[in-house]
Amino acid sequence: MTNLIVVGATGAVGKQVIGLLDYNYAPFKNLRLLASKRSAGKSIIIKHKEYFVEAINENSFFGFDFAIFCVDTDISKKYVPIAVKSGCRVIDNSSAFRMMPGIPLIVPEINFNTFSENNYIIANPNCCTAILTMALYPLHINNKIKEIQISTYQSASGAGEKGMKELIKQSYDYINGNTLETEVFGRQYLWNVFSHNSAIDLVNGYNGEEIKIMEETKKILNTNLIDISVTCVRVPVLRSHSLSVSLTFTNENNTNNIRELLNSFPGVQVVDDRLRNVFPEPILSNHSDNIFVGRIRNRLGDKTNTKFELFICGDQLLKGAALNAIQIYNEICKKILLINKEEIVA
């Protein structure tokens, strides 16, 4: 069994990773929880055992086989190389290494075959990318997708604990007639939507989040032939992300085929009840391991039968982050360490 480190154990994603470990989603022998100095000393119970959060430093990684990094890009850039030098294999949630050639960017259901034993850094995709590619891949391998148009409905959790706290705090302040605090997003988030707060490329006008989704999706689907455009928008939702997606396939398709392909893909669930008006929505996907797809329909007036619309929801903190990282970890454990997770966990 592996000795595992969770870096960023007190953040929004780190907490979910720990929750999954506590819930037997993955095996480990020794476990170390790292965070900033500020969080050091905090106690966390996992499987009836108490762990104390330690402040990260250059010697934190010796003697450990694996580290799941759930921290900002700057901290990943600094400590991932140190972890690797210490002999640790790293699954990194940040965007620091995702697009580097030679570094696998993995959604296990899709492209775990891009991992080899030589890879000591494995990148976990952007939250929207992970959720999106889960819906695209089963369709794409059946009938190549040529063009994608996406508008996102992204939750506060994408900005971490502090984002969720600020949104909830604003609702308290609104109800109590206080001025709303706007430290994290620089604006009222309650009763508002706004263009994603990542920096904009001044030349092309796309923001960082949009570029990530566009580039990472191509890397995971292993193609440069998809013409993809994304508009990223934050909505006052706590944890699940939603995506409104228009697809153009190379060949004719139909809604029944799309539903079947999606429903038979692990981790994807079709929720598409036209009669009762039941479709994917964040309060359904919150805390679920699955991603949900609905509103599946052929574009009205499309005579080519190649253009389809769908609406996707997935828990940003689970399949969009922690769960995907844990799944990567499990697959690597199985492959490298010849551990059969089922035997150990059961």
Catalytic residues: 127, 241
CA 182, CA 201: separation in Å to the nearest integer?
A: 24
Stretch that binds its own copies, among 7-15, 105-113, 293-301, 326-334 (CB under 8 A): 293-301
Report the residue number, 200 or 344, with the smaller CB distance to its own copies.
200
Report the residue number, 107 or 230, with the smaller CB distance to its own copies.
230
Q: Which two tokens stand for residue 81?
A: 């190389």
- 63 sits in the region (left: phi over 0; alpha: psi -120 to 50; else beta) called left
**Candidate residues 298, 336, 337, 344; the one interacting with its own copies per rule CB under 8 A:** 298
Near its own copies in 150-179, by CB under 8 A: 151, 153, 167, 171-172, 174-175
Q: Give the 3-state secondary structure of residue 131.
A: helix
CA 129, CA 107: separation in Å to the nearest integer?
A: 9
Report the residue number, 2 or 197, with the smaller CB distance to its own copies.
197
Q: Which residues contact 102 (CB under 8 A, 6 or more apart)?
A: 119
Least distance in angstroms from the C-beta of 82 to its own copies: 33
Least distance in angstroms from the C-beta of 280 to its own copies: 8
Near its own copies in 36-95, by CB under 8 A: none
- Compute CA distances 56 → 4, 15, 32, 35, 297, whole Å: 14, 16, 10, 6, 49
Per DSSP bridges, beta strands 227-231 and 145-153 are parallel
Total residues contacting its own copies by CB under 8 A comes to: 56
Q: Which two tokens stand for residue 340?
A: 């059969």
**277 near its own copies, judged by CB under 8 A:** yes
State the DSSP H helix or E strand holding residue 49, giving kind and residue range, or none if neither. Answer: strand 49-52
Near its own copies in 243-272, by CB under 8 A: 244, 246, 255
Least distance in angstroms from the C-beta of 288 to its own copies: 14
Yes or no: say if 33 and 51 are a contact pair by the CB < 8 Å rule.
yes
CA 313, CA 311: separation in Å to the nearest integer?
A: 7
Yes or no: say if 11 and 161 are a contact pair by the CB < 8 Å rule.
yes
Report the residue number, 190 or 337, with the smaller CB distance to its own copies.
190
**Candidate residues 66, 279, 292, 329; the one interacting with its own copies per rule CB under 8 A:** 279
**DSSP letter assigned to residue 38:** G
**195 near its own copies, judged by CB under 8 A:** yes
Binding positions for its own copies, rule: CB under 8 A: 149, 151, 153, 167, 171-172, 174-175, 187-188, 190-195, 197, 199-202, 204-207, 214, 227, 229, 231, 233, 235-238, 242, 244, 246, 255, 274-275, 277, 279, 281-283, 294-301, 307, 309, 311
